[in-house]
Every structure is written in C-alpha cells, then in structure tokens.
Structure 1
Amino acid sequence: MTANILTVDDSASIRMTTKITLTGAGYSVTEAVDGLDGLNKAKAGNYDLIVTDLNMPNMNGLDMIRALRQSPEHTGIPIIFLTTESDAEMKNQAKAAGATGWITKPFDPEQLVKIARKVLGR
C-alpha cells in the first residue's frame, strides 16, 4: 500500500521539487500552500507523513504541528520540518511541539526519501 504524504510549503518550487522526489519514490503526495491549509488538509485527510516548512504566511509550521498534536488522531503521524532554519533553539522548539525530524533546505532529494522510508517503515 502506498503511503500518503502531505507536503506544506508556501514556495511553489519547493512543493514541486518535494512532490517529484516523493512521487518518484512511490509515495502519494498532497500539497498545501501554508500552515493553515496544511492543518485543514491534515484534519480532512488520512496521511502517513507530513513534511512542512517552518516560515509560512497565515500559520507557520510550528503552530500547525502544535495544533495537530492536540488531536488524538494526529499524535502518532511523523512530521518532518523541511526548512532553511538551522537554529538549535528553533530545533528544540520543533521537537517540543512534536516534530519527528528536521531537514535543512536546500535539501538532497535522496536524503528526503531516505528519511521518509525510515519514519514510514517502507
């Protein structure tokens, strides 16, 4: 069975690159344009993994994760940050909010697939 992945990023080029990378690895990908869109799609759909940017309009990735982790059906879904941020304090906040991992942009597509496979177990 194909894993369903939600990607959340305000950059169209990052969404496209992420989608091409993950669909090329056999995953089904849904895109969201910001944290609020991501939150709404995550609540309406059934996703095995969420890959999100941090800095976005309307709702940032950190607030989106906090909102998702308050919902019992989203507590176990792996959430990976894919962001330009590399500050240690921000990483600590992300971990405290419930992020599973962190990848810094620009990203290596092979690394993204490797991490997706690891957290999904497939």
Structure 2
Amino acid sequence: MPVQHRFECVTCGHRIRTTGEDSETARQHARERGAAHVNDAHADRLADSTRWPDELASDDLLVGEAAYGGLHGWLAPVDDLLVCADCGYYFGRPESPDDRRPVGEAGLVCLACHDRRVDDRSDSIERATDAFFR
C-alpha cells in the first residue's frame, strides 16, 4: 500500500502531495517537489536571504528529524489524511464517536459517510435494475 505525505508551503499555502512505496520514497519525492516549488515561487526570497542559497537542492528540505517539524521554515506537515473526504470531520479528536471512525482504502471517509455511500449505491443499482426491466 503506498505511503502518502502532504505538506504545505508556510509562505503561500501551496500544497505538496507525494506518494511512494514506502515512507522514505514518499519523503524523497516531497523533497524534490518542495525544493522545486520554493525555487520557482519564492526565488526572490531565496535571493534576498543570507541563510539560503539562491536555489535550494532537494536535500535542503525534509532532512532527518525536520521531516515532521518546521522543515526549515519552508514546509509544514498537513494532516488532511485525518479528515473525512465527504463531510470534513477531523479524526484527530480523542472523543470521536463510533460512527465517525475512519474507513475505506481509496479515500478516507467516516463510517457515517461510508454507510450513506453504500445506501446511495444500493438505491442507484435498484433504480437502474427497475429501469432495465421496464
């Protein structure tokens, strides 16, 4: 099952989503895409900075422990994977009710939305079958 990492540029809010066979591969993709974004979108800030080179290398971001911290002030982790794709419920709450636990492999949804999807699909199949036999 592929691993997905999501980060957001702290300067402009641009989202960087990467996947890989394992966490390290996904992190490497994030390094590359993150450095490309910063180099393209924030070249003026890099040029004005004495702390950073004029162009970031992919290894300048997401290195070691910084992968889950502030990422040197350019990228921050985004916990979208903890949000229901249908209703937006945040799964990170410790007091989550049972009908809001995350389910599904293709897209993370809460149990209530999953049940609604199943009911909607069943109703749709029933209507299509009735229409076919008429």
TM-score, normalised on structure 2?
0.25
Q: Tell which has more relative contact order, 1 or 2 (C-alpha 8 A, sep 6+).
A: 1
Greater Rg over alpha carbons, structure: 2
TM-score, normalised on structure 1?
0.27
